[in-house]
Structure 1
C-alpha cells in the first residue's frame, strides 16, 4: 500500500453536496497502481447498492469523471462488507493498473449519487455511511 486515507462522515449522514476530497502525490511514475474506495456502513444504510460520482484530477488540470455502482448487500439483506458488529467495511475497485506519470498533486473527489426509484431528485442526506476512504496499492501484475 502506498496511500491510505479516510474521512469520517458526521453522524453517519452523508449529504449529497458534501464532496470528499483526497489528495496525493509522489507515487512511482512507472509502475501501475490499483485504486480502491473504502466504504464503512452501519445498519442504518437502507440500500443494497451505492452509487458514487468520482472525479480524478491530474496535476495538469485534466479530469476524469465516473459514475460507479457498487453492491453493498446480498439479496437476503446480508451485508457484503467485512467486520464484526454493526460496522461493515467494503473495499471497492475504483481504478485498475493506473500509472501516475505526472509529478504534482492528484485529487480524487467523491460524492454519493443515491436516489429512490422513480424520484428525479437525489437523496439529500444518505444515512448509514460512517467513513469513506481512498486506498492506493502498487499493482502486482
Structure 2
C-alpha cells in the first residue's frame, strides 16, 4: 500500500502539469476568440479575400483573380490591395497590372505601385516574424455603376519571370461611412 501512495504522488504532479497545460490552452483559445471578436465587427466590409501564392512565388504569366458580387450602386466604396511579403523580398516596391471588368462588359486596366519598404529599407505595414502585411488604397470613394459580378485580376509587373517572397495577394472592398 505504501508503494501505491508513492506512485500516486508521482502521478499527481503529472496530472497538475497536464491541468496547467490545459489551462494555458484554454487561455490561448480565449485570447484568440476575443481578438477575432474585436476584428470581426467590421460592418463596412463588403468583400475581403487573400490568396496564398505557392512557395511564395509569383510567375509573370500567373493571374490572381477575384470575383465579387456587388449589389450596392448607391453608396461610395473604397477598394484596397492587400500584399503580404517576407523579409527576404529583394525590392522596395511591387508593380501590379490590375484589370477590372464590370457586369456590363466595360473594363479598366491600371498599373499600380505598392511601396513595401521606405527609402532606408525599413518594411512598411504590420510585421509578425519575417512576414509583413500591407493594405494599399487602390480606389477611393467610387460608386459601382451597375450591380452584378465584378472581376478583379492582378498580374505582377516586376520584369522578372518568377517574383519571389510575396506570400499572399488580396482584395478588400468596403463601404465608405457617410457622416
CA distance in structure 1 between the partners assigned to 2:133 and 2:107 by the alignment: 28
Alignment of 1:60-99 (within 5 A): 60-99=104-143
Q: 87-96 or 68-77, which moves further after superposition?
A: 68-77
Q: Say whether the 8 Å CA contact 1:2–1:27 is kept in structure 2.
A: no
Report the number of matched residues. Answer: 134
Indicate the SS of the match to 1:47: coil
Indicate the SS of the match to 2:126: coil
Residue 59, structure 1, aligned to residue 115, structure 2: no
Q: Which runs of 5+ in 1 are unaligned?
A: 115-121
Indicate the SS of the match to 1:2: strand
Give the C-alpha shift of residue 76 in structure 1. Answer: 1.8
Residue 130, structure 1, aligned to residue 167, structure 2: yes
Q: Say whether the 8 Å CA contact 2:70–2:150 is kept in structure 1.
A: no
Q: Which runs of 5+ in 2 are unaligned?
A: 1-44
CA distance in structure 1 between the partners assigned to 2:84 and 2:91 by the alignment: 14
RMSD value, Cα: 1.0
Q: Which of 109, 112, 127 is the aligned partner of 2:153?
A: 109
TM-score by length of 2: 0.72
Q: Please state which structure has a larger fraction of its residues in strand.
A: 1
Computing the radius of gyration from Cα coordinates, the structure with the larger value is: 2
After superposition, give the CA deviation of every residue in 1:20-46 in whole Å (9 maximum; x if it has no partner).
000011331100000000000002210
Q: Say whether the 8 Å CA contact 2:79–2:138 is kept in structure 1.
A: yes
TM-score by length of 1: 0.91
CA distance in structure 1 between the partners assigned to 2:48 and 2:71 by the alignment: 13
CA distance in structure 2 between the partners assigned to 1:43 and 1:127 by the alignment: 11
CA distance in structure 2 between the partners assigned to 1:136 and 1:63 by the alignment: 18
Structure with more contact order per residue of length (Cα contacts < 8 Å, sep ≥ 6): 1
- 1:140 alignment counterpart: 177
Give the C-alpha shift of residue 74 in structure 1. Answer: 1.4
Q: 60-69 or 96-105, which moves further after superposition?
A: 96-105
- 1:48 alignment counterpart: 92
CA distance in structure 1 between the partners assigned to 2:133 and 2:165 by the alignment: 12
Moved over 2 A (4+): none
After superposition, give the CA deviation of every residue in 1:19-73 in whole Å (9 maximum; x if it has no partner).
1000011331100000000000002210001101001100011101100112110
